[in-house]
Every structure is written in structure tokens, then in C-alpha cells.
Amino acid sequence: AQSVTQPDIHITVSEGASLELRCNYSYGATPYLFWYVQSPGQGLQLLLKYFSGDTLVQGIKGFEAEFKRSQSSFNLRKPSVHWSDAAEYFCAVGTNNAGNMLTFGGGTRLMVKP
Amino acid sequence: KAGVTQTPRYLIKTRGQQVTLSCSPISGHRSVSWYQQTPGQGLQFLFEYFSETQRNKGNFPGRFSGRQFSNSRSEMNVSTLELGDSALYLCASSLRPNTDTQYFGPGTRLTVL
């Protein structure tokens, strides 16, 4: 069975600073990988996804992520954080034989200092 | 295009009662999945429906059930509620299964007293 680890429960960055959120997965074959963001009281919004092809994926709101098979990682990055990016971020993995079932990491709560 | 709609948004029930939650997918989407989100267990997959058929089921007791109607709307039911069932229940829809992009609704916040 697949699993996802987000090692950082909380991260605080200053506005304008760069951001990297870590995500490690465990799955025997090539996974489908996702990053979602959740603001308080809201559902999940898809930031970006990786199915195949180019390992550097561009998403919405200026986010990008890089799939590194050798490290089983799919880290999320943003060059300059805005105060509105404060939220909880979830990495998720899916497979090609489990329909739409996603396995989520525990989430990383991002706080942005002015 | 309207997003995924979940009703009700908030519910308060007592132990032993049952509850039904509703999800209306994005127009044209035929796949609906349900997730439970709690502070302790995080986001966990409950089940997935496509064309009125359950395709996958997560590791939850039989008290949790669901169904999908011909118009793709879905309901989930929890019987004999326990305190631990207090959670945010999220519904997601997509055009089809096999990890097509899923769009999540705002969730139903269930509190069991």
C-alpha cells in the first residue's frame, strides 16, 4: 500500500521569502502525485499534479513541484511567499489501479510573517 | 460552472443516531469520492462511486455506507454514531475514475455529542 509523509507539521516563513514543503511517498510503481491547499473552513484546492512526463510541474498561484524518483519525493516550492499563502498544504498519492482513491500526507501548516 | 456542493454544511448529532450527508458533483462529473478529515487521523478515503457503482472502499466499519444516484449525486450514511465520527466529511468529484483531477467541496462538519 502507498503512504505519504510530510515531515514538517508547521513552517513559518517571512513574506517575500522562498518556500519549500517536503513530501516523501512510498509506492512500488510510478505514482500519481498531487499537492492540495486548504484554507480554514474550506475544502481542498488542487495546486498541481504529476502523472508522467516532465518532472518539474507548474501549478497555480506561482507554485511548482519536482518529482524525484530516486528520492521518492515531490517537494512543493514557491520563490516568493505572499501573506495569502498561509494555509495547510497536503501532498497526496494515487495509483493507476485504485480509481480516484488518494492517500494523503498529514499536512503542513504554513504561517507567513509580515 | 458551479462547484461541488455539500449539504448540510454543519450537523450536530448525538451518539447512537444516524446521519445522511449529500454531495452534488460538478455538472458532467460522474465519479464521486468521500473523505473523512479529523485532527488525529488526517484525511482518509472512505469510498468512491462511478456510474452508481462503488469502485473502492477505505478501511472503515460497515456503519459507513454510501450510494450514488443516476444523476451522479451521492449520499453517505453513518449509522449508530460514535463520538469519534466527529469530523469534516469531504466530497470530491471528477469526470471519471483513475485519478482524473478531483475537485473538492467545502465539506460537512459533523459533531457527535
> In the beta sheet, which residues pair with residue B87?
B110
Which chain A residue has the Cα nearest residue B95?
Answer: A100
Binned at pLDDT 50, 70 and 90, residue B70 comes out as very high
pLDDT beyond 90 at A72: yes
d(CA A69, CA B81) in angstroms, rounded, equals 42
Cβ–Cβ below 8 Å for B99 and A94: yes
**Alpha-helical runs (H) found in chain B:** none
Cβ–Cβ below 8 Å for A94 and B105: no
| Closest residue to B104, CB basis, from A32, A44, A51 | A44
Give the pLDDT of residue A30.
76
Give the Å distances, CA to CA, from B6 to A4, A50, B20, B75, B85: 27, 27, 11, 10, 18
Give the pLDDT of residue A29.
77
Burial of residue A14, with CB atoms counted within 10 A of its CB: 0-12 exposed, 13-18 middle, 19 or more buried: exposed
pLDDT tens-digit series, residues A97-114: 777 889 999 999 999 999
Taken in order A94, A100, A105, A107, the sign of the CA dihedral is: positive
Cβ–Cβ below 8 Å for A100 and B104: no
Give the pLDDT of residue A11.
97
User: Tell me, what DSSP letter sits at residue A111?
Assistant: E
Give the pLDDT of residue B99.
58
pLDDT tens-digit series, residues A5-59: 999 999 999 999 999 999 999 987 778 999 999 998 888 999 999 988 889 999 9
Average of per-residue pLDDT across A69-95: 95
